[in-house]
Amino acid sequence: MLKTRVISAVVLLPIVLVILYLGGWPYEALVGLATVLAGYEYVQMLARRGYELHTWLVMALIIAWEIGELWPAGDPWVPMVLFMVVGAFPALVRSQRDGEGSLPVEHWALMLAGSSYLGLGGRALIHLRRAPDGLWWTFLTCLIVWVGDSAAYFVGRRWGRHKIAPRISPGKSWEGYLAQVLAGTLLGGGLGALGASLVHVPSLALAPGLGLGFLVSLLCPGGDFLVSMIKREVGVKDTGALIPGHGGMLDRLDSLLWAGVLASLLVGLIV
């Protein structure tokens, strides 16, 4: 299992880093593709509990949220709200077809919850890359998540004794979480200071790097627990099998999307 995880990371990580460096439409297309695939996995998971969400509508709403970041003029929230309202119609049609057992409100709410979480998270990652010095902030955010996750995984396996929420995610321990916060904070501060001195990025420095590392590593596990709750309820270990050794796309994005939101908010205050 560990060997497979490492091989997948060695193969995929350089591709992701190159696209991150390029930015622009290749990066935005990658974010769109990844979140749409995660949306597909979300629909398939909920189907195990009898929820028949419209896959095309979930995917379309994810893309609509992300296109809102690229909106050339006007208020992008108007079409988003309209899209949400339109999204209620399939649930309404199903309720008329299937009768009282169709649960139209639950279908509509689950469609909006999943697509909005993925779409807004993807939008935040696009916004972060388009910000001033966005390449460095996006790279730093991703690295904080990846290194923090690895620290939590290895420390949790070796020394994890006190479980955070065993019913939801039995593998997560307080020892692993502490390692994640420490690793993410130190990495953020170290790379922030290093980046400021070597590449002379105006907004990078020790204090902003520490702040980003601490905020992201402290709070981004919430995205992991959110997806873990869904997996536990539907009875699956992984959201899919797209990435060998790592599970599905949603498994890889759960923390990163939330980290993108946090980083976008913080960077907006700094730059």
| pLDDT confidence of residue 60 | 86
Percent of the chain with pLDDT strictly greater than 90: 32
Alpha-carbon distance of 40 to 250, in angstroms, equals 9
pLDDT band at residue 93 using 50, 70 and 90 as cut-offs = low
Q: pLDDT tens-digit profile of 94-119?
A: 665 665 556 677 778 888 889 889 99
Alpha-carbon distance of 146 to 20, in angstroms, equals 15
Task: Give pTM, 2 decimals.
Answer: 0.88
Q: pLDDT tens-digit profile of 22-56?
A: 989 999 999 999 999 999 999 999 988 888 788 88
- What DSSP string runs through the chain? -HHHHHHHHHHHHHHHHHHHHH-HHHHHHHHHHHHHHHHHHHHHHHHTTT----HHHHHHHHHHHHHHHT--SS-THHHHHHHHHHTHHHHHHHHHHHGGGG-HHHHHHHHHHHHHHHHHHHHHHHHHHHSTTHHHHHHHHHHHHHHHHHHHHHHHHHH--SBS-TTT-TT-BHHHHHHHHHHHHHHHHHHHHHHHHHT--TT--HHHHHHHHHHHHHHTHHHHHHHHHHHHHHT-SSS-SSBTTTB-HHHHHHHHHHHHHHHHHHHHHH-
State residue 91 phi and psi, 5-degree precision: -65, -35
Q: pLDDT tens-digit profile of 204-254?
A: 888 888 999 999 999 988 888 888 888 888 888 888 777 766 678 998 898
Quote the number of domains for the chain: 1
pLDDT band at residue 137 using 50, 70 and 90 as cut-offs = very high
Structural domain of 33: 2-270
